[in-house]
Amino acid sequence: MPEFLSRQAKNSLSVAANTNMKNVVSLTAEKIGKEISTYGYGKAEQEKLSEILKFIKNDMNKGIADDVKANMEKESLAVLVDSIILSHLQDKQQFTDLLQDRSRKDKLLAIFKDLGSTALQPFYADLSWQNKLNSSISSVITRVQSENKDTSAILTAIQDIHIGSLIEEATSTVLSLSNKFFSNLHDDLNQFKKENGLAEKVNQNELLASQTEMLKEFKSDLADTISALLADDLGNVFQKKFSTHIVSLAQNRVNGIVCDYVTAGLKSYRTEENLRAGQNNSFIKDMSVDPNSQFVKEPEKHSQLHAEKIRESKTPGTILDIRILSETLGLKVVIQTEDRHGKRVIMQELNPGTKPASETVTLIYRPKSDQYPDGHYDVLINNQTVSVNKDKSCLFYALAKGLKPEASEGDIASEADHLRSVEANVLLKHPGQWEPFIKRKEWTETIRGGDWYMAEGAAREKKMRRNKIRETKKVLTEHIVQVKPYKELRKEAKNKPGIGQFMNADHQLPVSSIHKALDLNQNSKLAKAMFGTSASPLDENLVQKIYSDHGPGLPTLYVPSEICRQYSSTKSKKIRELLTEAINRDDIVATFKLTILGAMPRFMQDNSRGFNNFQNTEMSRTRLKVFQDSFPEHSKELVNAWFRVLEDNSDLMKPEIKEEMITWIDQKTYDDLNDPYRNKVINPLQ
């Protein structure tokens, strides 16, 4: 686990990685061990599984033995078997030696067993019966799983209640192959007889009564041999499939437990999003620039918007801007920061990829604080830190000072403006080269905490304040019904240290769907209304604000992070596309019904596919219970919040539409199997 996480962290959490690794190991290893013992698959479970399989095999043998005996007594097969046995005799005097001598008898039985194995071979390639068996086993285990939480309890329930179903399924599946097997065996016995030129040298009607009894006993042993062959070979197929289901079930539960504890144990704020932001940051820093890259469809959009923004002195610089200037000017930029002992450590190094570096500038980054709300850049000259007394433009001033250390303040100001112009001109001249980098920046900015990576280049994590809010049922209940604008919940979170460890301020519907709808159709009334603009054509300044601010005034609800990660709209790109299409059509009913359905964990819509149902831990069950109890209330509050956003657009959010939505929620139509919107959401779940 530490090795895996350290690889992930290397490109994202950087300086925080060591702290995180120690924290994960110390806080989660013991808990994970205990949980795996409870929910996993160990020695006790292995013993229970063995007992179940042994019991099933014994019962299978009885059913198979009766079937084999009946088939062996059928005339066509019985005559052929007698013929092969009697062909091994020279005369009646050898009868006793052949059928009672253990060694000779075993050799004769081995012939039939080998031919039986040959007759079985086609069944291993035939998947139809195996798939049927697999489906039967799965249906039994699914029934048991819905009533029991851990692997041991599931096995116990199978032993006590469902063993009969499994025996019946296993036996009936094997017996369904019976006719085909004995047909194959008959053909193989005939072929064996012809190839070896076998002919009876003793007639059966010449046998004495004692010899006839010996022949009957041998054929009984032969039936047992064939029964054991079928039970062992086809029974093994059943055992493997059944064992695989049980082990897979335990593994999935353990994987979920490990994931939950690792996520909770990491100190980083919103770990999964931080890792994603770090990956985007690594892309911006390290990905090579393709000088021949050209975008056919609207290549200028993202690059042009960033070019226009970066000319403004109020736009702060980020690692993206450093990368563009590094590539354009042939400049190596080293970013350092100070550790807790005041020692400078390297955070990032950016090198041009298309030309050799002609100069090196070293910047000193100051993390966000009360003094530096957006973070701050100074510059290192002759191994001495030179302060830059600028706020939003500190990055460009620091670069200018590093390039011209002897210049006057007026010249530095001019050079800083020149650097902004150089970047803007490059973006406008070669938009295709930088489009993917700017998209990564935008994706990172949509991740809460992502701005930290953009400014700091994945630097140190700020220490969480003391007296953190602890997760309890009471705290969950107090916060889960809150539906407020994103900016308000973010502001509140600053005064509630620790709440971000277990609660997520989640936009519903996803802001990305509104963005995309506006990209596809700038005449969409609903998309424009959602962003509070009605200008047509759209005001470019408003468009820039839409992309940069990530919907600060849009409705957001507090939801447990674990549940939010299992939302249908979080997990399925197709559902977000359905929302985009609904907005595009200005279909407000479809938009909000899909929004409510998308803000449900997947298992609540389809519990047959093994989606996380939050039964792994007591806290998971508590989160789910609080969420489910509040679902109708916070869904109605979400509709009311959007009504307030859209109330100035009377042709969109009409009172009757609001009433329709409230009734739809009150009647819990979102759970109705016949609801067309529910089916639209279920179909693309994966």
What pLDDT sits at residue 397? 94
> What CA–CA distances, in Å, run from 518 to 191, 362, 643?
74, 41, 20
**Residue 71 confidence (pLDDT) above 50:** yes
485 neighbors 491 (Cβ within 8 angstroms): no
Q: What is the edge-to-edge ordering of all strands in the sheet holding 331-338? A: 344-350, 331-338, 359-366, 376-381, 384-386
Average pLDDT over residues 491-514: 78
Q: Mean pLDDT for the chain?
A: 76
The phi-psi region of residue 550 (left if phi > 0; otherwise alpha if psi is between -120 and 50; otherwise beta) is: left
How far is Cα 203 from Cα 200, in angstroms, rounded to an integer? Answer: 7
* SS3 state of residue 509: coil
- Reported as a pLDDT band with limits 50, 70 and 90, residue 349 is confident
- Reported as a pLDDT band with limits 50, 70 and 90, residue 563 is confident
- Reported as a pLDDT band with limits 50, 70 and 90, residue 267 is very low
The angle subtended at Cα 311 by Cα 306 and Cα 313, nearest 5°, is 120
Q: Which residues contact 360 (CB under 8 A, 6 or more apart)?
A: 331, 332, 333, 334
Quote the crossing angle between the two packed helices 43-72 and 163-175, to the nearest 10°: 40
Please report, to the nearest 10 degrees, the dihedral formed by the alpha carbons of residues 27, 281, 326, 398 taken in order. Answer: -60
Average pLDDT over residues 526-531: 82
**Residue 675 confidence (pLDDT) above 70:** yes
User: DSSP string covering 454-468, please?
Assistant: HHHSS-PPPPPPSSP
Average pLDDT over residues 522-527: 82
Read off the pLDDT of residues 390-444 as tens digits, 9 standing for 90 and up. Answer: 878 899 999 999 999 999 988 999 999 999 999 999 988 888 888 888 877 776 6
Percentage of the chain exceeding pLDDT 70: 73
**Residue 148 confidence (pLDDT) above 70:** no
Strand-strand pairing, 555-560 and 344-350: unpaired
What pLDDT sits at residue 458? 47
What pLDDT sits at residue 459? 41
**Residue found under tokens 């407000």:** 588
**Residue 446 confidence (pLDDT) above 90:** no
Give the residue with greater pLDDT, 38 vs 418.
418
Q: Euclidean distance between the first and final Cα of the chain, in Å?
A: 26
| Single-letter amino acid, residue 358 | S
pTM for this prediction:
0.38
User: What phi and psi values does residue 60 have, to the nearest 5 degrees?
Assistant: -60, -40
What pLDDT sits at residue 462? 38
What pLDDT sits at residue 8? 47
Please give the structure tokens belonging to residue 261.
């504890």
What pLDDT sits at residue 460? 41
The candidate with the shortest Cα–Cα distance to 227, out of 287, 185, 281, is 185
How far is Cα 231 from Cα 244, in angstroms, rounded to an integer? Answer: 19
- The runs of H, that is alpha helices, within 446-572 are 450-456, 473-480, 486-494, 511-520, 525-530, 540-549, 561-564, 568-571
Give the residue with greater pLDDT, 543 vs 480.
480
**Residue found under tokens 């086993």:** 137
How far is Cα 217 from Cα 231, in angstroms, rounded to an integer? Answer: 21
Helix, strand and coil in the chain, % to nearest 5: 65, 5, 25
272 neighbors 2 (Cβ within 8 angstroms): no
What pLDDT sits at residue 260? 58
What pLDDT sits at residue 399? 94
Please give the structure tokens belonging to residue 244.
């695989």
Read off the pLDDT of residues 611-668 as tens digits, 9 standing for 90 and up. Answer: 888 887 888 888 889 888 889 998 998 888 888 888 776 577 788 888 898 999 999 9
What pLDDT sits at residue 398? 94
Separation of CA 610 from chain center: 12
Q: What is the edge-to-edge ordering of all strands in the sheet holding 555-560? A: 483-485, 555-560, 503-507
- Reported as a pLDDT band with limits 50, 70 and 90, residue 474 is confident
Average pLDDT over residues 264-270: 47
**Residue 272 confidence (pLDDT) above 80:** no
295 neighbors 54 (Cβ within 8 angstroms): no
| Single-letter amino acid, residue 618 | E
- Reported as a pLDDT band with limits 50, 70 and 90, residue 461 is very low
CB burial of 181-219 (b: ≥16 within 10 Å; e: otherwise) equals bbebbbebbeebeeeeebeeebeeeebeeebeebbeebb
**Residue 359 confidence (pLDDT) above 60:** yes
Beta-strand ranges (E) seen in 170-290 are none
113 neighbors 230 (Cβ within 8 angstroms): no
310 neighbors 424 (Cβ within 8 angstroms): yes
**Residue 501 confidence (pLDDT) above 80:** no
Please give the structure tokens belonging to residue 265.
């144990």
**Residue 175 confidence (pLDDT) above 70:** yes
Q: Which residues contact 644 (CB under 8 A, 6 or more apart)?
A: none
- Reported as a pLDDT band with limits 50, 70 and 90, residue 362 is very high
Give the residue with greater pLDDT, 534 vs 126.
126
Partnered with residue 484 across adjacent β-strands are: 556
510 neighbors 638 (Cβ within 8 angstroms): no
**Residue 201 confidence (pLDDT) above 60:** yes
What pLDDT sits at residue 268? 42
How far is Cα 196 from Cα 217, in angstroms, rounded to an integer? Answer: 25
The phi-psi region of residue 144 (left if phi > 0; otherwise alpha if psi is between -120 and 50; otherwise beta) is: alpha
What pLDDT sits at residue 447? 54
**Residue found under tokens 């819990």:** 668
The angle subtended at Cα 130 by Cα 128 and Cα 134, nearest 5°, is 120
What pLDDT sits at residue 36? 53
What pLDDT sits at residue 400? 94
Average pLDDT over residues 16-31: 51
Average pLDDT over residues 96-112: 78
**Residue 499 confidence (pLDDT) above 90:** no
92 neighbors 211 (Cβ within 8 angstroms): yes
- Reported as a pLDDT band with limits 50, 70 and 90, residue 119 is confident
**Residue 62 confidence (pLDDT) above 70:** yes
**Residue 270 confidence (pLDDT) above 50:** no
